[in-house]
């Protein structure tokens, strides 16, 4: 017993039995291997929960997480699907004083209405058909730690009322039970819905909204973040796949430009799935733009040209008049898109823009034309090919 207290795995009594010695050694080796595997899994899970990105929006979000984690305040996280609301919740828990306690996640949208009370509060044996044993609910399991209610906007009004009571009193009863159970739980809720609109539509309780919305967080969509964030996230998932045992791969510069120009409607989740798909189906160490477009053709239709502005409202067309070639407001007017019926006749176009006769002649003298055309027909104003 003394040896065990000092750290020994086991002890063998006299007289020595070789069979027992072999079994003890085998068990100790298995325990060591399980311990190492557990450490590796914890390390991989911790890396997968890292929030990647250095854009101003992400720096502001990370700073807010660090400040809020030190408190016990409840948090409401909003944002589109796939933006990483779960990562925000994990980060708050990991940086809080509850980090050694359980982090219990509940997807409110995935649990049938008739089972959600049993999942959240637990049930007593025999409380309903199929309840063959006592079951602890999520609130009970999260006692002392954090309960993450994902997609809380999909809860029914009936369940919302019961959730509100627990949040107010920190106590509940299991389904079919009479004993009141007290808990100490920090609640973090998340939704992709507009809860204020849901309140107006009478599908979400206003009192529950204000109870949860102590500290609001909004996770930015991927299209609202910088191109550097997209590159960093892509590299993160490429290294994560390599750590899982696949061949290390990288994105070619032209492929990275496609990633940076794509609008990512599925946000970070879509980017992660795209990287995984490319790693599986790519036969080369460097993933090219051609390989990306072969697997994800929609990138070609929505990608912003390289060098274009990140704001769609500021993107200029690839063809047309350069801004530097326009000197005055009147010159700018002369470059307005002409009516369709006049677009093939430069003389009429210039006249339509409001130029005087001498301005039209001067402008035509400065015009250049495609190779093989240099003179104009005096009758119709059409270019004639030099013979």
117 and 200 together in one domain: yes
pLDDT of res. 250 = 94
Query: Which H/E stretch holds residue 27?
Result: helix 18-48
pLDDT of res. 345 = 53
pLDDT, one tens digit for every residue, the chain (387 residues): 576 666 677 777 777 778 888 888 888 888 777 776 655 545 444 444 678 999 999 999 999 999 999 999 999 999 999 999 999 999 999 999 999 999 999 999 888 888 888 899 999 988 888 888 899 999 999 999 999 999 999 998 988 998 898 888 888 889 888 889 999 999 999 999 999 999 999 999 999 999 999 999 999 999 999 999 999 999 999 998 877 777 889 999 999 999 999 999 999 999 999 999 999 998 899 999 999 999 888 888 765 543 343 433 333 333 333 334 444 444 444 444 444 444 445 555 445 555 555 455 555 555 544 444 444 444 444 444 444
84 and 209 together in one domain: yes
Residue 100 lies in a domain: yes
DSSP code, position 217: E
201 and 261 together in one domain: no
60 and 183 together in one domain: yes
Q: How many CA atoms lie within 13 A of 3 on its CB side?
A: 6
66 and 147 together in one domain: yes
Q: Last residue of some domain: 167, 189, 220?
A: 220
pLDDT of res. 335 = 46
DSSP codes, 6-22: TT-S---PSSP-HHHHH
0.75 surpassed by pTM: no
Nearest to 189 by CA among 164, 169, 165: 164
pLDDT of res. 360 = 52
Residue 150 lies in a domain: yes
Residue 208 lies in a domain: yes
* Cα-trace Rg, the chain: 33
Give the CATH number, domain containing residue 140: 3.40.50.300
Give the CATH number, domain containing residue 277: 1.10.8.60
Cβ atoms of 91 and 49 closer than 8 Å: yes
Residue 47 lies in a domain: no
- Residue 84 gets the label, from left (phi > 0), alpha (psi -120 to 50) or beta, of left
Q: What is the C-alpha to C-alpha distance for residues 78 and 196, in angstroms, rounded to an integer? A: 12
pLDDT of res. 310 = 40
21 and 84 together in one domain: no
Residue 50 lies in a domain: no
Q: How many CA atoms lie within 13 A of 212 on its CB side?
A: 29
214 and 143 together in one domain: yes
Total domains present in the chain: 4
Range of the domain at 367: 326-385
245 and 344 together in one domain: no
Q: How many CA atoms lie within 13 A of 257 on its CB side?
A: 13
């Amino acid at each position: 017993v003394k040896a065990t207290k000092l750290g020994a795995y086991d002890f063998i009594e006299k007289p020595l039995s070789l069979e027992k010695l072999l079994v003890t050694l085998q068990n100790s080796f298995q325990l060591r291997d399980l311990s190492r595997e557990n450490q590796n899994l914890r390390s991989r899970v911790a890396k997968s929960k890292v929030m990647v990105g250095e854009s101003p929006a992400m720096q502001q979000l990370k700073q807010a997480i660090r400040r809020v984690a030190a408190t016990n305040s409840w948090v409401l996280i909003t944002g589109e699907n796939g933006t990483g609301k779960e990562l925000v919740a994990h980060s708050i828990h990991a940086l809080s004083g509850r980090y050694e306690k359980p982090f219990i996640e509940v997807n409110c949208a995935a649990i049938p209405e008739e089972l959600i009370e049993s999942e959240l509060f637990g049930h007593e044996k025999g409380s309903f058909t199929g309840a063959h044993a006592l079951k602890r609910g999520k609130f009970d399991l999260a006692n002392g730690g954090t309960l993450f209610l994902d997609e809380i906007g999909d809860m029914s009004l009936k369940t919302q009322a019961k959730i509100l009571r627990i949040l107010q009193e920190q106590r509940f009863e299991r389904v079919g039970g009479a004993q009141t159970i007290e808990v100490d739980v920090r609640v973090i809720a998340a939704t992709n819905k507009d809860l204020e609109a849901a309140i107006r539509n009478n599908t979400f309780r206003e009192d529950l909204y204000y109870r949860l919305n102590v500290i609001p967080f909004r996770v930015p969509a991927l299209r609202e973040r910088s191109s550097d964030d997209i590159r960093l996230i892509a590299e993160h998932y490429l290294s994560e796949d390599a750590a899982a045992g696949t061949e290390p791969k990288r994105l070619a510069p032209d492929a990275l430009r496609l990633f940076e120009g794509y609008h990512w409607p599925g946000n970070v989740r879509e980017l992660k799935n795209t990287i995984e798909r490319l790693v599986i189906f790519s036969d080369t160490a460097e993933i090219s733009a051609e390989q990306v477009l072969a697997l994800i053709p929609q990138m070609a239709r929505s990608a912003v040209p390289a060098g274009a502005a990140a704001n769609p409202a500021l993107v200029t067309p690839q063809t047309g008049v350069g801004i530097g070639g326009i000197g005055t407001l009147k010159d700018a007017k002369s470059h307005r898109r002409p009516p369709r019926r006049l677009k093939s006749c430069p003389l009429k176009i210039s006249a339509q823009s409001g130029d005087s006769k001498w301005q039209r002649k001067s402008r035509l003298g400065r015009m250049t034309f495609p190779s093989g055309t240099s003179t104009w027909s005096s009758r119709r104003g059409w270019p004639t090919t030099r013979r």
